[in-house]
């Protein structure tokens, strides 16, 4: 079948292909593509499924998480990218995000760790000194992210994810 295709090609087409290939830099991706042959990616996205899942999670966070400075969004996305939840199930990003949020909310230590990291990120975004929660002390009036507020935001996010 390929000999029929080659016979049907004009000399002009072959010359054009040679010129195009001479101008291009040869890469590993091209070598793999040539080895796989024409149509190898047919029906598949060139974007890895894990990357697609991360983009879906980012979109879910943007549309469902109330976050004034965006720091909680940044920290959650960074943590989810590195989490076991994503590695185990990147085929279902909604469930991955919900499972990660559930794990954080159920762990007082995990929640405090998330709040601390979010306070640091908020300080970076606003170019201010971060405000941390201290056991037995009231929260700073300018602290956007307390254990209580982050828990509430995660619970609301989980409720919205459950509705989907």
What pLDDT, in 10s, does the model give residues 142-158?
667 888 889 999 999 99
Q: Is the pLDDT of residue 2 over 60?
A: no
Q: Is the CA virtual torsion 151, 155, 160, 164 positive or negative?
A: positive
Q: What is the pTM of this model?
A: 0.65
Q: Is the pLDDT of residue 55 over 50?
A: yes
The per-residue pLDDT for 1 is 46
Residue 64 dihedral angles phi and psi, to the nearest 5°: -125, -10
The per-residue pLDDT for 8 is 57
Banded model confidence at residue 17, pLDDT cuts 50, 70, 90: confident
Q: Is the pLDDT of residue 111 over 70?
A: yes
Regarding predicted confidence, which is higher, 34 or 14?
14
Task: Compute the C-alpha angle 162/45/5, nearest 5°.
Answer: 155
CA 70 to chain centre: 15
DSSP structure string for 120-143:
HHHHHHHTS------TTSPPPTT-
Q: Is the pLDDT of residue 113 over 60?
A: yes
């Amino acid at each position: 079948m390929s000999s029929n295709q080659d016979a049907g090609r004009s000399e002009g087409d072959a010359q054009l292909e040679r010129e195009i290939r001479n101008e291009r830099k040869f890469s590993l991706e091209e070598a793999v593509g040539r080895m796989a042959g024409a149509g190898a990616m047919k029906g598949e996205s060139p974007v890895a499924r894990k990357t697609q899942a991360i983009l879906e999670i980012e979109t879910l966070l943007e549309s469902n998480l109330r976050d004034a400075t965006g720091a909680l969004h940044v920290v959650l996305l960074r943590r989810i990218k590195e989490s076991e939840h994503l590695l185990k199930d990147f085929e279902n990003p909604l469930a991955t995000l919900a499972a990660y949020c559930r794990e954080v909310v159920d762990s007082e230590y995990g929640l405090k760790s998330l709040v601390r990291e979010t306070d640091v990120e908020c300080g970076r975004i606003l170019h201010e000194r971060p405000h941390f929660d201290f056991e037995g002390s009231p929260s700073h009036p300018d602290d956007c992210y307390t254990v209580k507020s982050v828990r509430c935001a995660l619970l609301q996010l989980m409720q919205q994810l459950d509705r989907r």
